[in-house]
Amino acid sequence: MDPVSRFYSGPGGLVAAIGSALDASGADRSALRPADLAPVDEFHIRGRSATLEIVEALAVDAGSQVVDLGSGLGGPARTVAEVVGCTVTGVDLTPEFCEVATALSDWTGMSDLTRFHVGDATATHLPDAAADAALTIHVAMNIADKEALYAEAFRVVRPGGRFVVYDVLQGEGGEVRYPVPWAHDTSTSFLATPQEMRALLPAAGFEVVSETDSSDESLRWFQELRARSQQQGPPPVTFATFLGDSFAQMAANQVTNLAERRIRTVMFACVRPS
């Protein structure tokens, strides 16, 4: 198994674990909406609020075809599909994530607008120019060959289409403190700097329309999340469901990494020139 896929693969049974946790909380699975699952399936810093910013940056409509490269448990794909009414295809390296994403779309009534399949974000085998837009959220940190990732995004997006990248980047404050939610150590962690991103995306052929650094908001998000959990307890289902006992240390390290500017969270909105 690929080392990155191994990192995200738990002992199995993730669909059942999420379902049991929801049932134990009294949630009605027949009435779930995508936002109800955000604590577990919006697996990125600032969660659903960041996804809604991405929705706006994608500039798509109800007739659009969107590709999510590294779709995880499918939270962002469902949010984009729900808000816009477009169709989203998710590609992810981890088989269990695709299985869970499919189940959660079924539970939330989003199966008609979202589909997920196992694949490599650097070689999706999707047709050329098949998508009106593409996104990737907190994925490139695990990919050493970023040139291949962004070249693949350029290939699958039609001329005039948008590509939005929201990622964790290497900050100026020193080396990352591990473990973090995407890696136990440097063996599967490959952070680009903001300066490198400004070269990588144009080199793939994209025009960068905007660059938004949300690092301060990200630090506040983690601090508020921790305070809320201490006061109210954690939500019924969280990232810890698949990250296990290491999650508490990972979250604490993320606060340190952001506070000491060891990492940055940045969104790049790009367009493939017509």
231-259 pLDDT tens trace:
766 665 665 555 666 777 888 899 999 99
Q: How confident is the model at residue 213 (pLDDT cuts 50, 70, 90)?
A: very high
pLDDT reported for residue 208 = 98
* Per-residue pLDDT reduced to its tens digit, 60-114: 999 999 999 999 999 999 999 999 999 999 999 999 999 999 999 999 999 999 9
For the segment 193-205, what is each residue's pLDDT rounded down to a tens digit? 999 999 999 999 9
Partners of 65 in beta bridges: 87
Q: Which of 53, 19, 59 is nearest to 221 (CA)?
A: 53
Can you spell out the DSSP letters for 117-145? EE-BTTB--PPTT-EEEEEEES-GGG-S-
What's the pLDDT tens digit per position in 163-177? 999 999 999 999 999
- Round to whole Å and give the CA distance between 17 and 23: 10
Q: Helix, strand, coil shares of the chain as percentages rounded to 5?
A: 45, 20, 30
Closest C-alpha to 209, from 196, 198, 220, 200: 198
129 neighbors 163 (Cβ within 8 angstroms): no
Measuring CA to CA, how many Å separate 216 from each of 42, 96, 208, 252, 267?
Answer: 19, 33, 22, 16, 13
Reported as a pLDDT band with limits 50, 70 and 90, residue 5 is: low
Predicted structure pTM score:
0.92
Q: CA of 74: how far to CAs of 18, 38, 58, 211, 249, in Å?
A: 14, 10, 17, 24, 25
Give mean pLDDT, residues 140-150.
Answer: 97
Query: In the prediction, which pLDDT does 7 show?
Result: 67
Answer whether residue 21 shows pLDDT above 60.
Answer: yes
Q: What local confidence, expressed as pLDDT, does residue 235 receive?
A: 60
Structure tokens at 156: 């699958």
Map residue 66 onto helix, strand or coil: strand
Between CA 154 and CA 157 the distance in angstroms is: 5
Residue 110 CB partners (closer than 8 Å, separation 6+): 34, 78, 81, 82
Of how many residues is the chain composed? 274
What domains does the chain contain, in order, with CATH numbers?
Answer: 3-271 (3.40.50.150)
Which helix (DSSP H) or strand (DSSP E) does residue 223 occupy? helix 215-232
pLDDT digits (tens, 9 = 90+) for 40-73: 888 899 999 999 999 999 999 999 999 999 999 9
User: Which among 45, 14, 11, 41 has a CA at the least distance from the CA of 182?
Assistant: 45
